[in-house]
Structures are given as structure tokens and as C-alpha cells.
Amino acid sequence: MIISALQWTETARTGLDRYFAERLTPQRLEGADAAEVRSDLKDHLEQELLQEGVSVVTLEDLRRTLARIGESLPPPPAESSGADVSAMRGAGDSSAKVGEARSETEPPVPTVSSAPSGAVPGSTGRPGFPAPPAIRKPLGLPRPVNHFWIKAAGLWWPLMIFAFEVITRGCAGTLFDPMPDPAHHLLVLMVPLAAWIFLRAAKPDAPPRLKLASPWLAGMALAVSLYYALRFLPATPIAVLGVLFLGVGLLALGPLLAFTAMLRMRRQFRKFGSLRDRRCLGLGFWLMTAVLLLVEIPASVTAFAVKSLNDREGSPAPADWAAATRLVRRFGSESTLLRSCYGSRRQNGADGLAYAQSWLFSLFSSGQNWSLPLDEGSGTLSRDLYYRVTGRSFDGQESSPGYRPWIFTTFNSERNFFLDEDRGGTRVAGKIPGLSLGEGRLDWHCEEASGLTWGEWTLTFENAGAAAQEARCRIALPAEGFVSRVTLWVNGEPQEAAYSTVAKVRNAYEQVAVRERRDPVLVTQPDAGSVLVQAFPVPAHGRLKTRISFTAPAGLDSRVWLPSILESNFNIGPAASLPLWVQADHGTLDLPAALKAHAVTEAGAPTATASLTAADITGLGQCFVWRHQTKPVVFCTDPFAAPEHKTVIRSTEVLAPAVFKPQSVAWVIDTSAPMEAHRKAIEEAVKKGSRAGQSAVFLPDDSDAGVLSLTNGGFPPLDFAGGRDNTAALLAALEWLRGRPDAALIWLHGPQPLVGIREEGLNQLLERGVTPVTVVDAPLVPGENRLGRLLVFLSGHERIRMIPVRTGAENTALAGLLENAFAQRGGTFTAQTADAPLPEGAARVQDSLARWRARLETSRLGLRSAEQASAFASSRQLVTPWSGAVVLERSEDYKRTGLEQADVSVSQQVPVIPEPSSALLLFLSAGHWLFRRRRSGQLSWIVLGNTQGSAPAHSLFSGFSDRSFLLGIPTMLKL
């Protein structure tokens, strides 16, 4: 009686009984349990039949199956064997024929008589061993379990795709990054690993641990392959068409093929595996599915948020921003969002199932939207969302999206073929692989009589990539400082810049640099406290050298801030070092202890040298203290002025420094996440600064209003989170200050890079309001500040006075810095003809004085007319918010673009101090020799032109101490 899930026809059942009757005879069983062998054989046959998909078993099915396992169906009693063989041949089953043929030729099973002597009956000759079963000849091999597909699609092809993607990043560069981090690399490798373990475990000599691990790995690999098959689903139809018609596209089909191989593995386990194996496989699958969901939820949520903002008609409303920001802050992926910032052509970041989902939804909903990227624009929305989520500006962030294994850095195709979409733009944007800051130097001079300082920063950009790139950076200006000279080395020769309106120099730069790809550098000042430097092209595997000069008065607190790089699209390695040289003609220099400066006073002139690290030249930068005593009246010749204004005089005799004491102070405190590091300094500054008069605090928040207002002393614990738009808070603060006397607004903030801000309300208030307001702009965290730029240009009238404040990274003295910000410099500037008499005691200084005067005059003009300010600043070779500088490669480039190159003879120089002439050197040497001889009694004083003792010598060496004089001589001789 046969009991099974299969239905047997009567003839098949009879055939099976006949087979057992013949097979299970005592001679053939040779001691085996007939019932057990019958049961085992029946199970085996049924497994074979089920695998074939047979549900109703016919005699032919039975005959074929028996033949496959090396057995044969005996003919029915009435049927001749010849007829049976003919019937099988008619069925066309070659394996059946082989089986039949083999059974007829099979040698007889060993019998007792054939056993060696001494063996028990029914054994093979060794005690306790029954006779072996019939053995087939090599020609009659049964069909082995076919593992070809598992090997091909589950092992080798995934390995090849993995290697291809790791080396070329082909998919990451065109569709999306399937392996953005090490975890995803391991996930992908799990598929071929599972296939390899399965194939090893299927061998008879496989170690037990492989047999244990195989079902687990198979389950996990099944989940991984399903996940990647889904992610590649949008590309699958195209890949199929590609394979069919072009012969390409197998790479994109790889995940799907691997999934089918993993399914085949699962089938093998269901057929041959134990219950434990099947359970392990299922557990592995669900475990990995849970892991994948956990891994992919952040990326999918981020993709969904970006997509939802993109799908809005017009600009997203504040409520949309708030919802998207909340969602991504809680559940999103920062790395996905960062990759999305690169816009439609270089996004590489459409991660997660949302990628496939959004693509499918858009495909089925409109039938037109085939664009794969989540952010279809230039990444602007993503960049704004990135700031709102993290509080950091996208600009200057590492641009290499995703994890790069070592082999990728070896080939580094991205470095060689990086497409910079922000070239020639006004944003620094992300870092360019292979572009870096090479060697450079910073030389700074301090002139005591005028209290002015100026210096040169030489920068060399290096490009290790195979394509020319544009280097961009935003450099923080020294406090009250400005750019006074720009130089570019073209073919090894320094070339001076031309100065004109921002629009004109940018036009020239775009024409010559971006379109014609020749050597220009462009410097513009987008806001009150920084300049944007752009240099293109930094040639492939080459370098580009430029120099920017800055001028700034020493602060009223004697601090001198050095320029620093706020953002850059080039890499500044942690090992970068910049030699710093600071010199003053008089006074004392006090550099921060952290710089480990080497200070020396030579001929009465203090100098200090130090090596600035990457941390010193980036971010908020470094400052030093220069204690000095300015002269009350100084003058210089203005190299740019008309004859009637050729001599510029600055007098501080009449007006002493004054301190503006505001009666109404509005504090706008950016509560974005990066500001949390300055919580203590902020709280102390607000506490100290709110003592006198009325004060109010305005805190940007995530509410619909965008601001929390607190007047007269209210100051709750600050809640820092994400990135917050300060527009509403500034607007509220300016509203509060309307009509109040001596109004001041102190804005402590981090980056404000948002493009999509609603600025018209602020614009209106700045244009229409009449209350004069002093705005102290104090960035505590470096970064793009578009809102600050807006304030500079919208406050184009005299009632808004912007005071940019440089603060250090530590901010321990923030309260003091803010107090000093209100201090006003005394002094007046006058101009006269070159031959007009000078005020008594006026000291001649270098023409940096004239440049400073021109910068202040430009600001004054800028409040009334941008055109006048631009024309005046250009004529004085200054970079201001109204004027820029551009260096072009050839003189005809200047002519063609209507620009005039600056004359190098009137360009600013950093002098060498002291400046001994040859005659002076000789004289000093002689004087030194005479002095020593007289001290030793060998010679009396010889004084040229005077017989009154040592008086002339004293006047000659005034300013030098005896010690410095003595030390200075050998030094100068050495020079």
C-alpha cells in the first residue's frame, strides 16, 4: 500500500509493486530489512517525482524515474522485455534507455559463493559487513545535483560586479551609490560568500562548521540579493533591452541574477536540508531583512523628504521646511542628504528603497518623469535642508560621497574625472578630490606711527587630478581689514590685478577662465568680513600660485587678526604648515603661546616667526597682540590721488577714541547646533551686555514664527538644534529697535547659508525704517553667511552701521570683544597738495595710510551710491563689497575685457626691516669700530660735521637702544 501526496495511476501502482517484488528478494537484499528498503526507495522515488513537478504518476513516470536512479522496471508477466524496451525508446527518454541497458549488462551481485573464505553468508568477506549493493559502471553516472547557476550567478558574477564597482565606481557615478559605506560592501560580499559556503558544504568532506553556517548565510544572502534586486528594479527593463539588443547591461542585471541563484540555493535546502537547516535559513532571511530595514530607513526617509520638497509647486512653505527638517533630523541620514546636495548630475546619493519607489511612482503617475535623482535641481533644496538638519553649511564639506575602499583610492577615477558644477559660481561648494593647498607663506608688517598693519598671504594650489579645476575659498578678513593687492604667477612671473566693479571683473573672469580656460584669479568681497577667492585653472597634475595682500588697522585692544580660510573647495591636510613672519618697526609683539613663536628683536624691530598649522589658518583663525604707540599726526603720499589731494594726513590729536554706549540692545542669538560649543561664552556676554539700558533677546526656533522673543532680561536655557534661519529673529529685533534711541543689534551666529529665505520683510524694514542701528556681526562658527551678505547690501543707507567682529575659536573673551566693538576710532583724514606745509611733528608713513583712507571713503560713498563707491575703490586698487580684483593671463585679455592692469610700482609692499642702505651700513660699521676703539682707549671720538661730543651719534641712532644697536650691527653686516 502506497501512501503519499502523489496520485498514482493503477498501472503505475502495479508497476511499483512489481518493481519491489523483483527488487526486494532475499538474494538481492542480502540481509537488509525489506520493509525499510522498500520505504526508503519509495520516499526516494517520490522526491524525484516531486522535483520533476509530477503530481499524477504514470507508469512512464515511474519507468523514467527508476532509470534515473539506476534501477529498472521489470516487465509485466504478459509483456515481453523487448516490447517494454521498445515502448521506452518510443517515449524518447535517453536516460531510461541507459538505465535499461545498464541493468541488462550489470554484473551479478556477489553471492555467498563469490565471497572470500571465512566470511559469513551474505557478507563481503569481512565479519559484520553485509554485501555491498550493485555498483554502476562509470558510463551510467546518475545526473548530479546541478549547481551551475549558483556558481555562475551567485558566486562568480557578483564577485566580478563587486570588483568592477569598487574599481570604477561606475554605478555610483551614473545611477546611485550601491555601496556607500563599509557595511554595504560586506552586504554585497555576503552573496558570493554564501554561495561559496553552500558549494563547499555540499561536498562529502566539508567541515561540520560549514554545514552549520551554510543555511544561515543562505538566508541572509537571499535577503541581501532581494534588496539589491529591488534597488536595481528601475534599471532592470533598460538592462534587459540592452542585453537583448546591444549585448550590454548584464552588470545592472547582476543583483536580479544573484537573487535567482539564491532562490535556487533555498530550493536545495528545502529538498535536502534538515528541519534545522530550513529553520536557520528562514531566521537568517528575516534577521537580515530587519538589518536592511534598519540600515535603509534613514536613507529612505531622507530621500522621501527631499523628494517631497522638490515636488512642491513653487518654493516650499515654512511649514514644509519644518516638516521635512523634523523628519530628517529624527530619522534621516546625513550622508544621504550630503550626497543629494550635489545636484542632478552628480548626486550619487539617491539611496534606499525610496529611490526605486520615487522613480516608479513618478513613472506611473505622469509617465514623463524619468529623472532618477531625488533633487532635480542644482541641489539647492538639499543644501538648504542639509543646513536646517545639521546646522553646517554644505560649502567646504568633503565632496567624496560615500566610503572609498583602498583599491578605489589606488585607481581613483573620481579624482581624475570630477565634474565641478559650481565652477565660476559664487559658492565655495564641496571639496574637489585631488585639489589641495600646497606650500605658502604669510608675511605681516606692523607700522607703529600709523597703527596700520598689512601683510601678504601666498597660496599655492595643487591639483593631483587629471582635469583642471577651480580652487575656491572664502577668507576671513582681519578685523576692519580689506584686500589691497592681488598677484598671480603666470609662467613664473608675478602679474598684478585689475580692479573694477564686481560685475565687470566677474565677467572677465568667466570669459577668460571658465570659457577660455586661461590663468585668471578673481577676488571679490561678498560680505563685510570675508573675501571670495577663485583661481582657475589649477592645471592637471600642476599648481597655481597667487598672493593676496591685506591691510588692517590694529584693533583698539591692540589685537591684530590674521586672515583665515573659512571655507574651501580644496583639501587642507592636517599636516599642512604655513610659515608665518610677523614684524613691527617698533613696539612689542605677543603671539599666542600655542603658536610656539620664535621672537627676536633685531635693530629695535621685533620680529616673530611661527609655523601655522591647518587649524590655525582655517576657521576663526589666530590673532596676536601688538603693543605700540601711534604718532598723533602722520602723513603719506597717495599714489593714486590727484595733485590737489596728493598728501594724505591723519590726525588723532583732536578726537580721542570714543565708545558708543547703546541704550537699547537687541540680541539675536543663533540657536543652531554648532553654536552649542559657545553656550557659556554667549550666556556671559549677554549677561554682561544687558546690564545698562533696555535689552531684548531674540532666539530663532523651529516654530512657525521662527523666533522666540524675550524682552528685558528674560533668558531661558538655550535650546540648540539643527540649523535655524535667523531671518525672522533679525526682523523681530529690528522691529523692536524701531524708535529707540542709541539702538544696537548684536548678532551672534554660525553659518547662515540658506538660499530660499523669505527676505522681503527684512528688505522692507531696512529700506523704510529710519532709526539708526549699529549692527555688530559676530560669527562664532565659520561658514557661509548669505544672510550677512544680504544685510550688507540692503543696509545701503547711513542708518545701519555694520561692525564685523572677529572672534577666536575659544571665545573666552567674547564679552570683552563685543564691548570693544562699540569703541570708535578717533582721528580725521585730510588731503592736500604735495607742496603744502605739513602740520608740525607729522611723521611720514607708508602709503598704506592712503589705502586705509580710501577704504573708509569707499564705505561712506557706498551708503549713498554703489557706482561712486565702485569707481573710487577701483581707482585705489581695493577689493570691497563694491569692487573686485581679477588677474588675467595676457595684456590683450585686459584690453578685450576693458580692464586696466595695476601698476606694480604703486602696489603695496611688505618692507624689509630695518632697511639699511649700503652707505648706512658702512657708516654704522665705521661707528662701531670707532666706538670699540674709544672704549679700549685707543681712539678718541671722531664725529663727522660736529664737534659737540656724541650728540649727532645719539640722534642718528635714536630709536635704537644701546643693546639693540650693538646687536644690530653684526646682524646687518651679515645681511
Other residues' Cβ atoms within 10 Å of the Cβ of residue 385: 30
Of 26, 121, 132, 170, the one binding other proteins (CB under 8 A) is 132
Q: How many CA atoms lie within 13 A of 96 on its CB side?
A: 20
What's the closest the beta carbon of residue 24 comes to other proteins, in angstroms?
9
CB nearer to other proteins: give 145 or 770.
145
Q: Rule CB under 8 A: which of 644-683 touch other proteins?
A: none
Query: Among 125-133, 340-348, 411-419, 634-642, which window interacts with other proteins (CB under 8 A)?
Result: 125-133
Query: Among 65-73, 440-448, 686-694, 965-973, which window interacts with other proteins (CB under 8 A)?
Result: 65-73
CB nearer to other proteins: give 6 or 291.
6
The answer to whether 7 contacts other proteins (rule: CB under 8 A) is no
What's the closest the beta carbon of residue 2 comes to other proteins, in angstroms?
10
What's the closest the beta carbon of residue 193 comes to other proteins, in angstroms?
20
Cα 775 to Cα 609, 801, 974: the distances in Å are 36, 6, 52
Query: Among 31-39, 514-522, 564-572, 900-908, which window interacts with other proteins (CB under 8 A)?
Result: 31-39
> CA 452 to CA 444: how far, in whole Å?
11
Task: Give the ranges where 470-536 is alpha helix by DSSP (H).
Answer: 502-509
What's the closest the beta carbon of residue 54 comes to other proteins, in angstroms?
12
Contact 58, 66 (CB under 8 A): no
Cis-peptide into 537, omega within 30 deg: yes
CB nearer to other proteins: give 43 or 900.
43
> CA 303 to CA 274: how far, in whole Å?
42
What's the closest the beta carbon of residue 48 comes to other proteins, in angstroms?
9
The answer to whether 66 contacts other proteins (rule: CB under 8 A) is yes
Query: Among 126-134, 377-385, 743-751, 964-972, which window interacts with other proteins (CB under 8 A)?
Result: 126-134
> CA 819 to CA 687: how far, in whole Å?
12
The answer to whether 953 contacts other proteins (rule: CB under 8 A) is no
What's the closest the beta carbon of residue 220 comes to other proteins, in angstroms?
21
CB nearer to other proteins: give 109 or 540.
109
The answer to whether 274 contacts other proteins (rule: CB under 8 A) is yes
What's the closest the beta carbon of residue 267 comes to other proteins, in angstroms?
10
Of 7, 26, 80, 137, the one binding other proteins (CB under 8 A) is 137
Q: Which grid coordinates belong to 415?
A: 579624482
Query: Among 53-61, 129-137, 238-246, 651-659, which window interacts with other proteins (CB under 8 A)?
Result: 129-137
Of 272, 286, 660, 941, the one binding other proteins (CB under 8 A) is 272
- Residue 160, C-beta contacts closer than 8 angstroms, at least 6 positions apart: none
Of 26, 170, 182, 207, the one binding other proteins (CB under 8 A) is 207
What's the closest the beta carbon of residue 43 comes to other proteins, in angstroms?
6
Buried b (16+ CB within 10 A) or exposed e, 831-858: beeeeeeeeeebeebbbbbbbbbbbebb
The answer to whether 567 contacts other proteins (rule: CB under 8 A) is no
Contact pattern for other proteins over residues 78 through 107, marking x by CB under 8 A: -----------------------------x
Of 82, 92, 116, 145, the one binding other proteins (CB under 8 A) is 145
The answer to whether 810 contacts other proteins (rule: CB under 8 A) is no
Contact 172, 403 (CB under 8 A): no
The answer to whether 322 contacts other proteins (rule: CB under 8 A) is no
> CA 69 to CA 218: how far, in whole Å?
28
**The cell 549713498 sits on which residue?**
864
> CA 521 to CA 535: how far, in whole Å?
4
Of 75, 76, 110, 693, the one binding other proteins (CB under 8 A) is 110
> CA 615 to CA 810: how far, in whole Å?
13
The answer to whether 130 contacts other proteins (rule: CB under 8 A) is yes
Query: Among 40-48, 160-168, 385-393, 770-778, which window interacts with other proteins (CB under 8 A)?
Result: 40-48
Of 13, 18, 97, 136, the one binding other proteins (CB under 8 A) is 136
Other residues' Cβ atoms within 10 Å of the Cβ of residue 819: 16
The amino acid sitting at 502 is V
Q: Which grid coordinates belong to 240?
A: 534587459
CB nearer to other proteins: give 89 or 271.
271
The answer to whether 69 contacts other proteins (rule: CB under 8 A) is yes
CB nearer to other proteins: give 276 or 963.
276
Query: Among 80-88, 200-208, 519-527, 669-677, which window interacts with other proteins (CB under 8 A)?
Result: 200-208
What's the closest the beta carbon of residue 84 comes to other proteins, in angstroms?
18
Strand ordering across the sheet containing 707-711: 707-711, 694-700, 664-669, 743-749, 773-779, 800-804
**How wide is the angle at C-alpha 872 spanned by C-alphas 869 and 877, nearest 5°?**
120
SS3 600: strand
Q: Which grid coordinates belong to 111?
A: 553471492
Of 141, 293, 317, 836, the one binding other proteins (CB under 8 A) is 141
Of 56, 112, 135, 939, the one binding other proteins (CB under 8 A) is 135
- Residue 457, C-beta contacts closer than 8 angstroms, at least 6 positions apart: 440, 441, 442, 475, 547, 548, 549, 550, 563
**How wide is the angle at C-alpha 498 spanned by C-alphas 492 and 503, nearest 5°?**
125
Of 17, 21, 26, 36, the one binding other proteins (CB under 8 A) is 36
Q: What is the helix (H) or strand (E) element at residue 568, kind and residue range?
A: strand 564-568
What's the closest the beta carbon of residue 194 comes to other proteins, in angstroms?
18
The answer to whether 693 contacts other proteins (rule: CB under 8 A) is no
| Burial of residue 558 (number of CB atoms within 10 Å: 0-12, 13-18, 19+) | middle
Of 273, 391, 587, 751, the one binding other proteins (CB under 8 A) is 273
The answer to whether 204 contacts other proteins (rule: CB under 8 A) is yes
The answer to whether 43 contacts other proteins (rule: CB under 8 A) is yes
Query: Among 81-89, 206-214, 762-770, 948-956, which window interacts with other proteins (CB under 8 A)?
Result: 206-214
Query: Among 39-47, 78-86, 518-526, 721-729, which window interacts with other proteins (CB under 8 A)?
Result: 39-47
Q: What is the helix (H) or strand (E) element at residue 41, kind and residue range?
A: helix 34-52
Query: Among 37-45, 504-512, 718-726, 860-868, which window interacts with other proteins (CB under 8 A)?
Result: 37-45
Of 26, 121, 142, 170, the one binding other proteins (CB under 8 A) is 142
Of 83, 129, 680, 961, the one binding other proteins (CB under 8 A) is 129
The answer to whether 50 contacts other proteins (rule: CB under 8 A) is yes
The answer to whether 5 contacts other proteins (rule: CB under 8 A) is yes
Contact 735, 707 (CB under 8 A): no
> CA 556 to CA 823: how far, in whole Å?
8
Q: Which grid coordinates belong to 542?
A: 600642476
Of 19, 10, 27, the C-alpha closest to 67 is: 19
**How wide is the angle at C-alpha 146 spanned by C-alphas 140 and 148, nearest 5°?**
130
**How wide is the angle at C-alpha 702 spanned by C-alphas 701 and 703, nearest 5°?**
95
The answer to whether 208 contacts other proteins (rule: CB under 8 A) is yes
How many residues at the interface with other proteins, by CB under 8 A?
57
Strand ordering across the sheet containing 493-496: 493-496, 482-490, 543-553, 452-463, 435-447, 577-584, 605-613, 598-602
Binding residues vs other proteins (CB under 8 A): 4-5, 23, 28-33, 36-37, 39-41, 43-44, 46-47, 50, 66, 68-71, 107, 110, 124, 128-138, 140-142, 144-145, 202, 204-208, 211, 270-275, 278
